[in-house]
Structure 1
Amino acid sequence: MPPLLPLARALDRLASGAGRLLSWFTLAMVLLQSAVVLLRYGFDGGSVALQDSVIYLHGAAFMLGLAYALYTDSHVRVDVFYRRMSERGRAWVNAVGTLVFLLPMCAFILIGSWQFAASSWAVLESSSSAGGLPGVFLLKSLIPLAAVTLALAGVAQFGRALARLMEVTPPGAPAGRPVTTPQPQAEEASV
C-alpha cells in the first residue's frame, strides 16, 4: 500500500494546479462578459467571437472544475449523517461512494461522450454562428476529459480514505486517534 498515498498526493497536486488555472479562466470570463456588455450597450455593437469565448471559458471552468471541487470537498453532498460521523466513518463513506457511485459514473460519462467528441473532431466542428469561434470540437472534448479528471480525483479520494481506514489504533488508545507517522510541516513562505 505504500505507493497509494504518494499517488493520491500527486493527483491532488494535479487537481490543485487545475483549480488555480481555472480561477484565471473565471476571471477572463468575467472580463470578456463585461466587454460584451460594454460593446452592446455602450457602443451599440457586439462580437460573436467574444460571446463564444465566454461560453468556451464557462464550459472549461465547469467541466474541469469538477475534479477541483471533489479535491476541496466543495461538491454537493447530502450530509445529514456524514457531518456527524467520525473520521473513520467518513472514510468508509468516501471509499464506498467512490467505488460504487463516482467511478462508474465517470466511466459512463466517458463512454457516452467519447463518440460525441470524436464525431466533432472528425469534421473539426466550428461555431454555427457567423463570426463565431472555430474549435467547437475542443469544447466537446471537455466532456470526456472532465470524466477522466474527475475519475483521477476520485482515485485520490479513494486512496486517502483507504489510508485512513488502514491506520492502526494501538490497544488502550482512545478511538479516533490512530498512530501515524509525523507529517513534514509545510515551509512557510517568506515575505
Structure 2
Amino acid sequence: MLAFADAVDRLNQRVANVVRWLALTMVLVQFCIVIGRYVFGYNSIAAQESVLYMHATLFMLGAGYTLLVDKHVRVDVFYAKLTERNRRRIDIFGHLFLLLPSMTVLLYWSWPSVRNSWKILEGPMSVGGIEAVFLLKSLIPAFCCLIILQSLSLLIRLLVQGAKS
C-alpha cells in the first residue's frame, strides 16, 4: 500500500513541476496582452482566453500537490491545539466522509457534461476564442482523479502511522 502512496505522491509532484510554469507563462501572456492593447491597439480574444485556460489548468491540476504538501485551506482554530492522535482522527474522518465523497460526486455529476463536450468537440466561449472548451472541461475529472488519488495516499499514510502508534 505504501508503494501505491509513493507512486501517487510522485505523480502529483510531477504534475506540479509541469503546471507551476503556467504561473510565469500566464504573467508573461497577460503582460503581452496589456502591451498589445494599450501600446499597439491590438486585442486578441484567444490570447485573453489562454490566460483563463492556463489559470484553470494551474489550479485544477495543482490541487493534488497542494493537498500532498498540506497547503490546502484548513480551519485551524481547534486543529492546531489538538494532539497528534486527534489530528490524525480528524484527517481520517475528513478524507473518508468529506473529501472522497465530494470528489466522487463531482466526478459523477460532471462526467456527462465533459463527455458531451468531447462528443461535439465544443468550441470557443467567445467569437475568436480558443476552440477547445472540451479540453477546459476535461480539467474537472482530472482534478477529481488527482485529488481522490492523493486523498487515498494520505489516508494510507495516516492509517499506517496510526497502526504504528
Shorter-chain TM range is over 0.9
Quote the Cα distance in structure 2 between the aligned partners of 1:160 and 1:42: 54
1:124 aligns with 2:118: no
Provide structure 1 residue ranges, at least 5 long, that are not aligned to the other structure. 169-191
Match of 1:21 in 2: 18
**8 A Cα contact 1:88 1:164, kept in partner:** no
For residue 5 of structure 2, the aligned residue among 4, 8, 20 is 8
Match of 1:164 in 2: 161
Match of 1:49 in 2: 46
Quote the Cα distance in structure 1 between the aligned partners of 2:127 and 2:139: 23
Larger Rg: 1
Q: Which SS does the other structure have where 1:84 is aligned?
A: coil
Q: Using CA pairs under 8 Å that are at least 6 residues apart, name the structure with larger relative contact order, 1 or 2.
A: 2
Q: Which SS does the other structure have where 2:87 is aligned?
A: helix
**8 A Cα contact 2:100 2:148, kept in partner:** yes
**1:28-67 to 2 correspondence within 5 Å?**
28-67=25-64
Provide structure 2 residue ranges, at least 5 long, that are not aligned to the other structure. none
Match of 1:150 in 2: 147
Percent pairwise identity: 41
**1:83-98 to 2 correspondence within 5 Å?**
83-98=80-95
For residue 105 of structure 1, the aligned residue among 102, 105, 112 is 102
**8 A Cα contact 1:12 1:156, kept in partner:** yes
Query: Which amino acid in the other structure matches residue 130 of structure 1?
Result: V
Closer/same/farther in 2, CA of residues 48 and 10 from structure 1, 3 Å limit: same
The number of equivalent residue pairs is: 165
Q: CA deviation at 1:86?
A: 2.5
**8 A Cα contact 1:66 1:150, kept in partner:** yes
Cα-to-partner distance string for 1:99-135 (whole Å, 9 max, x where unaligned): 0101000101000100111111111011042321111
Q: CA deviation at 1:138?
A: 0.5
Quote the Cα distance in structure 2 between the aligned partners of 1:167 and 1:85: 19
Quote the Cα distance in structure 2 between the aligned partners of 1:79 and 1:160: 21
- TM-score of the two chains, using structure 2 as the length reference: 0.95
**8 A Cα contact 1:121 1:137, kept in partner:** yes
Q: CA deviation at 1:85?
A: 2.1
Deviates more, 1:80-89 or 1:107-116: 80-89
